[in-house]
Amino acid sequence: MFLEELGKIEEEAGRELREADSQDKLSSWHTRYLGRKGRLTSILKSIGALSLENRKEVGSKANQVKERLSLSFSQRKDELSCGPSLREDVDITLPGRPFTYGSLHPTTKVLREICTIFSGLGFGVVEGPEIEEDYYNFEALNMPEDHPARDMWATLWMENGLLLRTHTSPMQIRIMERASPPIRVIIPGRCYRYEATDATHESMFYQVEGLAVDKGITLAHLKGTLTEFSHLLFGEERKIRFRCDYFPFVEPGMEMSIECLSCQGKGCRTCRGSGWLEILGAGMVHPRVLERVNIDPEVYSGFAFGMGVERIPMLKYRIDDIRHFYADDLRFLAQFR
């Protein structure tokens, strides 16, 4: 009688346990079968009234049933705690929903590529403050107060003579104040100018400054370095153009332009019809700048350059407007994943 009852209890308990789809129903099931007054517990309490032979057989069977139900209860409890069980109408062979991945900003990608190239050419990478002093941003770079060349940089001034740096060139002075030649470094960072924006100009942009100071450095070293950099970044077939330009802290000064990839040199909105896009200004470090940091210009010479980082991806990816980089348009940014 007890053995039949145990079999019946195990069968009913198993069926109800599989149908239990909530923690409340599971708790009710445990009370009904394994609780202090549960059906299985009642049989275990009644075993003492049986003969010794029947007691062993029924007791062994009852303990086995209890052990199996307890294990099934624990497994079912874990399933419910992890979420709904897999239904039979779910096709597990279907592909899952794709995850949406982010990516580096195109400016960041190109900035890292530039740093990697110059590191391979023997340049170190350093950073500097974005809030600068007038001395480092202008005066030490051969632009004393009221110098007309200051108008070339539309400056955002702050209190106490501080300003948002208009270029990364102030780090030339900071580095030469602390280090002795030979010096070979590049300085990436953000710059700020109070000017109208258009397809090739923004009020906030990235620059990479380069500086090399040593004995016997000439303009040929500067042109060779920039040519090698351009070939590594754009390919050896890309045309490069150097033209004279003026910057107060270099002498002689020049600009370097790359053939416009958007129009293949034919002229377009990006290059303003010229077929070329200027990417950097450069020149030999002015002797007065070297004297300012106690480096003898009769013994040492050097070159410096500064490039606008955003103009590099404009060339590489044929982007016709620099304002796209900071418009936060996900349709634009998603193209660079």
The catalytic residues are: 153, 167, 193, 207, 250, 304
Q: How far apart are CA 196 and CA 307, in angstroms?
A: 19
Q: In whole angstroms, what separates CA 35 from the centre of its chain? A: 57
Q: How far apart are CA 20 and CA 76, in angstroms?
A: 9
CB 195 within 8 A of CB 203: yes
b/e burial code for range 122-138 (CB count within 10 A of at least 16 → b): ebeebebeeebbbebbb
Count of H helices and E strands in the chain? 11, 10
Q: What is the DSSP letter of 35?
A: S
Q: How far apart are CA 239 and CA 225, in angstroms?
A: 15
Q: Which of 161, 175, 170, 212 is nearest to 191 (CA)?
A: 170
Q: How far apart are CA 243 and CA 233, in angstroms?
A: 20
